[in-house]
């Protein structure tokens, strides 16, 4: 090793929760898998206070309430909003249903101080901008559940970049070989992979590197997905003003693993800089097996050595304590969370730019979307 001072290996891999966050009562809209097995499990672990739940199917809401020990089942969103105990609304519904619910909250949620919306916030930049403005006018703090930012390896890599351990970023890549379980509601969307799957990686690149100026993209059909869709396998390159490039291969086919072949499933990422290199894996494709993501990094500051910190937490469900925790911290301190609706407009714009670039077979500037 060199004579450089020891590196700080506390990489802030998980949001530190302040005491008193249970002062805000959380009302949940939606009772599907992601709410039942991720949101509510993580909230219980973190000590957040969930006061009630509602869903389009009340019987399902009642089942989830019993399973997760939630005291109240509301018959409708309106009934949830009438409860003064509900100061934060966690919206966990399909993307085509979410804008209408957010508008209802902004219009009549007089007790509501914060909303945690699912990603995508909306399926277009124009509609997302409208939702952000409505919440701002109502005095509601809007956050978006971009939970990959709170995956432990992703968050730790951001710390390395912020501290300069990797130097000036040169190239970042994400290689996803995984088979998503497309929910029935996805059949009705104009976009399949871009706004549902690739949005995680596009937001992650923004989290690490800031906003790109332009994108190149190509998309192809997923032969396993039988319903009509225009974007299945997504390949894209992001160009940044400072010279850095980022690229992802979002492969939702991943070979005929479900049809009889052996499987080769996983997600790997890599960030190269002028002073170091970080590489990692994302454990999500092995869910429901609790599989923590990993991080290895090396830097000129310590010479010929690979650091390999490991943590017990995984993306599902622990990252969901981070997104709700950010919103509750923001409410406590009167500030905007890093996952604010306003910030998320840039992620929605990037999704729209990638979708447009792939379908129009041209380079798209982000400014075309944002104006």
Q: Which one, of 233, 219, 238, lies nearest residue 171 by Cα?
A: 238
* Distance in angstroms (rounded) separating the CA atoms of residues 213 and 208: 15
Average pLDDT of the segment spanning 100-128: 97
How would you classify the pairing of strands 245-251 and 233-239?
antiparallel
Q: What is the pLDDT of residues 17-62, one digit of tens each?
A: 999 999 999 999 999 999 999 999 999 999 999 999 999 999 999 9
Is 149-315+348-370 in the same CATH topology as 21-147+323-340? no
Percent of the chain with pLDDT over 70: 98
Would you say residue 247 has pLDDT above 90? yes
Residue 277 in this model has a pLDDT that exceeds 90: yes
CATH of 21-147+323-340, one of 3.40.50.720, 3.40.10.10, 3.40.50.2000, 3.40.50.300: 3.40.50.720
Q: What is this structure's pTM?
A: 0.96
**Res 103: pLDDT:** 98
One of 3.30.200.20, 3.30.360.10, 3.40.50.300, 3.90.79.10 is the CATH number of 149-315+348-370, namely 3.30.360.10
Tell me: pLDDT of 107 over 50: yes
Give the pLDDT score at 302: 81
CB 145 within 8 A of CB 313: no
At residue 8, does pLDDT exceed 90? no
For 293-351, how does the pLDDT look when each residue is reduced to its tens digit (9 = 90+)? 999 999 998 878 999 999 999 999 999 999 999 999 999 999 999 999 999 999 999 99
- Which of 288, 281, 248, 250 lies closest to 266, judged by CA? 281
Q: Answer yes or no: is pLDDT of 1 > 60.
A: no
Please tell me whether residue 324 adopts helix, strand or coil conformation: helix
Query: Which residue stretches of 306-366 are H helix?
Result: 319-333, 341-360
CB distance 176 to 201 below 8 Å: yes
- pLDDT grade for 4, boundaries at 50, 70 and 90: very low
Q: Which are the contacts of 301, defined by CB distance < 8 A and separation ≥ 6?
A: 2, 4, 7, 165, 275, 276
pLDDT for the residue 109? 83
- Contact present, 276 and 258 (Cβ < 8 Å): no
Q: What is the average pLDDT score of the chain?
A: 96
Confidence of residue 2 (pLDDT cuts 50, 70, 90): very low
Cβ proximity of 86 and 74 under 8 Å = no
Domain ranges of the chain: 21-147+323-340, 149-315+348-370
């Amino acid at each position: 090793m060199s004579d450089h001072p020891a590196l700080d290996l506390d990489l802030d891999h998980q949001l530190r929760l302040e005491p008193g966050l249970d002062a805000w009562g959380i009302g949940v809209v939606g009772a599907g898998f992601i709410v039942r097995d991720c949101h509510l499990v993580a909230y219980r672990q973190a000590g957040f206070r969930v006061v009630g739940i509602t869903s389009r199917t009340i019987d399902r809401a009642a089942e989830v309430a019993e399973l997760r020990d939630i005291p109240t089942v509301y018959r409708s969103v309106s009934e949830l909003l009438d409860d003064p105990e509900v100061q934060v609304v966690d919206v966990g519904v399909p993307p085509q249903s979410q804008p209408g619910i957010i508008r209802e909250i902004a219009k009549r949620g007089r007790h509501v101080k914060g909303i945690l919306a699912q990603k995508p916030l909306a399926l277009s930049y124009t509609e997302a901008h409208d939702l952000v403005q409505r919440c701002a006018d109502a005095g509601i703090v809007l956050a978006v559940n971009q939970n990959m930012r709170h995956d432990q390896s992703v968050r730790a890599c951001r710390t390395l970049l912020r501290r300069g351990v990797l130097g000036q970023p040169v190239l970042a890549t994400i290689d996803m070989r995984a088979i998503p379980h497309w929910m029935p509601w996805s059949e009705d969307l104009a976009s399949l992979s871009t706004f549902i799957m690739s949005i995680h990686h596009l937001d992650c690149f923004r989290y690490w590197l800031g906003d790109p100026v332009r994108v190149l993209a190509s998309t192809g059909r997923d032969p396993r997905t039988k319903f009509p869709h225009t974007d299945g396998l997504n390949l894209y390159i992001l160009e940044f003003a400072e010279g850095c490039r980022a690229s992802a291969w979002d492969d939702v086919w991943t070979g005929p693993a479900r049809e009889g072949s052996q499987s080769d499933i996983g997600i790997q990422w890599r960030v190269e800089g002028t002073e170091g290199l970080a590489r990692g894996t994302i454990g999500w494709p092995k869910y429901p097996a609790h599989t923590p993501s990993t991080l290895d990094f090396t830097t000129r500051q310590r010479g010929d050595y690979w650091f390999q910190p490991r943590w017990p937490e995984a993306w599902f469900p622990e990252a969901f304590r981070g997104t709700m925790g950010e919103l509750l911290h923001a409410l406590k301190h009167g500030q905007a969370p890093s996952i604010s609706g306003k910030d998320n407009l840039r992620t929605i714009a990037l999704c729209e730019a990638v979708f447009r670039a792939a379908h129009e077979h041209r380079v798209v500037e982000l400014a075309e979307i944002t104006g």
